Structure 1
Amino acid sequence: MVSTIHKMSILNNIMRPIYGPSSSHTFAPARIGYHVRKIMDHYKGKVHAKIFFLHGAEEAFRGHKTDIAVIGGLLGFSPFTEEFEVFKSLNLNGTESSNTIKHKYNSTDYLFEFFIIPNFEIEEGMAFQILIDITDEEKGISLLASSLGGGDIEINHAFPTKGNNLITSQQIASKVIQSGFYVHPSQIQELSQSEFKFNSFQELIECGIKTNLSLSNIAIQREKILLNKSEEEILTFMLNQNWVLM
């Protein structure tokens, strides 16, 4: 797993009142869970979520109610609004004696399982990571995100694990990155016939050798095909989106 460290500024700690007791261990995890819910959209049937805490959460997550915060986000309660008060009124019990929480909300059965991955070191910075694998009867998503401090989060990876990959990829692009870009099936076909197609890191390296382009330039050319946008539009988007959800 790859982590991306965000260089914090004092401005990160100037914010409006948020839900606590911790900005990094409560509010940020709620945001991460909420963005997973945005990707999944409406749940269909029973929901099973596995939540993994990596680096910096194993000793503090119970006291800071990190587990409960993630559940609140996954249930669709926005930590930015007063509706999170409604979630708090549900009085869910944390994982004091078990790593499993079962809950029924709006006629949907939820199973939440929590796991601690100890000794997962990040070289620098004050960050811990949450990996969420969630599925319902139709679709699934795996998302790795970092809590950066001050309530900031960063989405490191997000990919579909079940169901229609194209639809889920569109949801990731439009609801997490909020790009408004949609990939049309014809662009998928066009990419498959181009020299910028790759499905693994090894294929990406081979593409770089073949085309004599840097990895960033390959990414730009690939997105031009997928999104049917100009290079200027792609570059503008990349400059305006740093993947840190403020």
Structure 2
Amino acid sequence: MKFKSVFDIIGPVMIGPSSSHTAGAVRIGRVARSLFERQPKWAHIHFYGSFAETFKGHGTDIAIIGGLLDFDTFEERIKNSLQIAQENGMNVSFHIEDAIPLHPNTARIHIGDEKGELELVGLSIGGGKIEITELNGFQLKLSGHHPAILVVHNDRFGAIAKVSNILAKYEINIGHMEVSRKEKGMLALMTIEVDQNIEEAILKEIEKLDSIEKVTRIVE
């Protein structure tokens, strides 16, 4: 494995005893918050593997809720995130799961409010780095460490090319891209990590394309 800088080795500036169990958990929660685009009214957090065994002692519970409150890894407020969530009207529950995950540090986050719901699976893979492997039933691979857009679209010929052409028009380089679908000809999900944050106007242009249902971005 190659490291870009010393911070990839020692981990991020953070609150808590463990980069995997704390900083990574904050980032998983924050990606969920970013994709939901608002603070949820309720959150059901399911812990697997090592997370399930040590989440209280290592602060994984307060870290994920801190992420859902849009706190960064170094925020002092993470220590009081459960109380802050309650004060903000967010109902939180934690669940320990016996299923054996593909990665020991795995969390499933199910959040929602009166307008909608979102469910994702996140892995904390070490040094504060994460991967999102599932979103609302779609399989994907999202690092959470680069700007990205998630495009829900009808599984039709040419949809991927049209989105790629718009990004190329604005000289936006794609670092990683993949497409997931639950069933042929139904809804699909494009996950596109890029080298810079994408402006709102470009997202609107993508949303106007045929077959596009929704576009969500994750900023760096």
Shift of 1:13: 2.4
Q: Does 1:179 align with 2:148?
A: yes
Query: Is contact 1:223–1:234 with CA below 8 Å preserved after alignment?
Result: no
2:118 to 137, 141, 159: 141
Q: Does 1:40 align with 2:36?
A: yes
Between the aligned residues of both structures, percent identity stands at: 29
- SS of the aligned residue for 2:96 comes to strand
Shift of 1:238: 2.3
Specify every segment of 5 or more residues in structure 2 that has no aligned partner in the other structure, as ranges.
178-191, 195-218
- Pairing 1:113-192 to 2, within 5 Å after superposition: 113-122=93-102, 127-159=104-136, 178-179=147-148, 188=153, 191-192=155-156
Task: Call closer, same or farther: CA 1:25–1:145 in 2, change over 3 Å.
Answer: same
Q: Does 1:27 align with 2:10?
A: no
The 1-side partners of 2:72 and 2:119 are apart by: 20
The 2-side partners of 1:133 and 1:176 are apart by: 21
The 1-side partners of 2:164 and 2:101 are apart by: 40
2:76 to 77, 82, 85: 85
Counterpart code for 1:223: I
Shift of 1:222: 5.2
Shift of 1:121: 4.2
1:104 to 69, 87, 96: 87
Count of aligned pairs between the two proteins: 174
Show the counterpart of 2:212.
none
Structure number with the higher strand fraction is 2
Q: Does 1:49 align with 2:32?
A: no
Provide the alpha-carbon RMSD of the alignment. Answer: 4.0
Q: TM-score, normalised by structure 2?
A: 0.62
Query: Is contact 1:26–1:66 with CA below 8 Å preserved after alignment?
Result: yes
Query: Is contact 2:65–2:81 with CA below 8 Å preserved after alignment?
Result: no
Show the counterpart of 1:76.
70
The 1-side partners of 2:66 and 2:95 are apart by: 17
- SS of the aligned residue for 1:229 comes to helix
Task: Call closer, same or farther: CA 1:33–1:8 in 2, change over 3 Å.
Answer: farther
Structure number with the higher helix fraction is 1
The 1-side partners of 2:64 and 2:172 are apart by: 33
Show the counterpart of 1:198.
none
Q: Deviations over 1:54-111 (max 9, x none)?
A: 12112211100111111111112122x5xx21343x3747xxxxxxx97122xxx111
Task: Call closer, same or farther: CA 1:222–1:67 in 2, change over 3 Å.
Answer: same
Show the counterpart of 2:57.
63
- SS of the aligned residue for 2:31 comes to helix
Show the counterpart of 1:224.
161
